[in-house]
């Protein structure tokens, strides 16, 4: 474990686990303190939609103080600022860069050039206050039809960008769509963002499931996200954390299968075969890759494998 949360080295790149990203509102000091002690991989302090206009200044100050005096050392910490064209943007950026989070979460991103100009502005502030330039990551919320259309260029807009999210509440509002628990209305958006993230080699973070009392619904929604290929999901209540973490953490059954796949591949190699069978199914390169990803995710989640994986 590092000071920035659990990490995994996959495809020669260090990835900070983002199975769960818990929002704590900047106008709830109690939630902000409590969030430090839960199991989420990423804690997101919010200055945007959970904070009413009358509380923006107080929330900005509170988050800065929180980061200075109570920053959790075992988590990846992000701060969501207000949108680029809002009246709060410049003040948010000044305070938040000084707070030096792992990432700044940018709402309502629609164009790559917005990300590039924000990144340059951050660099100026980093330089001004003596921080290493380029160290703060960016997570871009994709939450409009224009963001979806431009997801691919946004994902590779700047080296700071480590993840995109599908932010379904604002997105459905922009689409004149109805938000449903089954999520058919955001199915295309989820896939568009995922493809953009995979092409850019960054993480993809799935939508909020807003009904905090519907565990079965959350399970179905998270299973879908995991099977599509997302790396994690945004959550808004501590009750959602363990459920979501469990889906994005390989089960013992998945780990055992992955180890057996690697054994079968190894035996195949010794016999000079590219494809082998396991339990009656063909095992070849993509299945080996999935097995290796499973084992890397398990290790990153702190699960001890009972043997070395070569």
- Identify whether the C-beta of residue 145 lies closer than 8 Å to the C-beta of residue 185: no
263 is known to lie in a ligand binding site = no
Tally of CB atoms within 10 A around 289: 12
Q: What is the largest CA-CA distance in the chain?
A: 71
- The yes or no reply on residue 77 touching ligand ACO (CB under 6 A) is no
237 binds, among ligand OAA, ligand ACO, Mg ion, none (CB under 5 to 8 A by kind): ligand ACO
| Contacting residue, 143, 203, 221, 299, with ligand OAA by CB under 6 A | 143
- The yes or no reply on residue 167 touching Mg ion (CB under 5 A) is yes
- Identify whether the C-beta of residue 41 lies closer than 8 Å to the C-beta of residue 234: no
Distance of alpha carbon 39 from alpha carbon 35, whole angstroms: 8
- Identify whether the C-beta of residue 185 lies closer than 8 Å to the C-beta of residue 179: yes
What is residue 5's DSSP assignment? B
- The yes or no reply on residue 238 touching ligand ACO (CB under 6 A) is yes
- The yes or no reply on residue 92 touching ligand OAA (CB under 6 A) is no
Distance spanning both ends of the chain, measured CA to CA: 21
Using DSSP bridges, classify how beta strands 76-80 and 42-46 pair: parallel, antiparallel or unpaired.
Answer: parallel
In the complex, least distance from residue 236 CB atom to Mg ion, rounded to whole angstroms: 11
266 is known to lie in a ligand binding site = no
Span of 3-11, 137-145, 183-191, 268-276 interacting with Mg ion by CB under 5 A: 137-145
| Contacting residue, 15, 17, 35, 47, with ligand ACO by CB under 6 A | 35
Residue 223 host element (H or E): helix 215-228
| Contacting residue, 169, 220, 254, 263, with ligand OAA by CB under 6 A | 169
170 is known to lie in a ligand binding site = yes
- The yes or no reply on residue 170 touching Mg ion (CB under 5 A) is yes
| Contacting residue, 168, 218, 295, 300, with ligand OAA by CB under 6 A | 168
114 binds, among ligand ACO, Mg ion, ligand OAA, none (CB under 5 to 8 A by kind): none
Residue 189 host element (H or E): helix 187-200
Distance of alpha carbon 143 from alpha carbon 250, whole angstroms: 29
**Which residues belong to the annotated binding site for substrate?**
80, 143
Residues at the contact surface with ligand OAA, assessed by CB under 6 A: 141, 143, 165, 167-170, 208, 234
């Amino acid at each position: 474990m590092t000071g920035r949360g659990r990490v995994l080295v996959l495809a020669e790149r260090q990835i900070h686990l983002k199975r769960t990203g818990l929002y704590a509102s900047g106008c709830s000091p109690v939630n902000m303190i409590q969030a430090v002690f839960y199991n989420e991989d990423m804690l997101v302090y919010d200055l945007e939609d959970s904070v009413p206009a009358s509380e923006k200044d107080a929330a900005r100050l509170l988050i800065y103080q929180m980061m200075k005096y109570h920053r959790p050392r075992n988590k990846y910490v992000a701060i969501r600022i207000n949108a680029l064209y809002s009246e709060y943007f410049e003040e948010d950026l000044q305070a938040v860069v000084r707070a030096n989070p792992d990432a700044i979460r940018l709402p309502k991103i629609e164009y790559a050039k917005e990300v590039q100009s924000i990144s340059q502005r951050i660099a100026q502030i980093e330089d001004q206050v003596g921080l290493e330039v380029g160290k703060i990551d960016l997570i871009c919320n994709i939450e409009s039809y224009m963001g979806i259309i431009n997801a691919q260029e946004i994902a590779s807009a700047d080296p700071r960008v480590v993840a995109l999210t599908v932010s379904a509440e604002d997105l459905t509002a922009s689409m004149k769509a109805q938000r449903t628990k089954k999520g058919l209305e955001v199915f295309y958006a989820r896939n568009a963002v995922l493809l953009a993230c995979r092409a850019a080699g960054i993480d993809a973070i799935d939508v909020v499931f807003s009904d905090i009392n519907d565990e079965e619904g959350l399970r179905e929604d998270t299973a879908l996200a995991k099977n599509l290929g997302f790396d994690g999901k945004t959550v808004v209540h501590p009750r959602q954390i363990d459920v979501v973490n469990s889906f994005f953490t390989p089960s013992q059954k998945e780990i055992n299968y992955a180890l057996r796949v690697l054994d079968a591949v190894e035996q195949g190699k010794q016999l000079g075969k590219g494809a082998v069978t396991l339990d009656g199914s063909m095992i070849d390169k993509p299945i080996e890759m999935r097995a290796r990803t499973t084992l890397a995710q398990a290790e990153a989640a702190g699960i001890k494998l009972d043997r070395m994986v070569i």
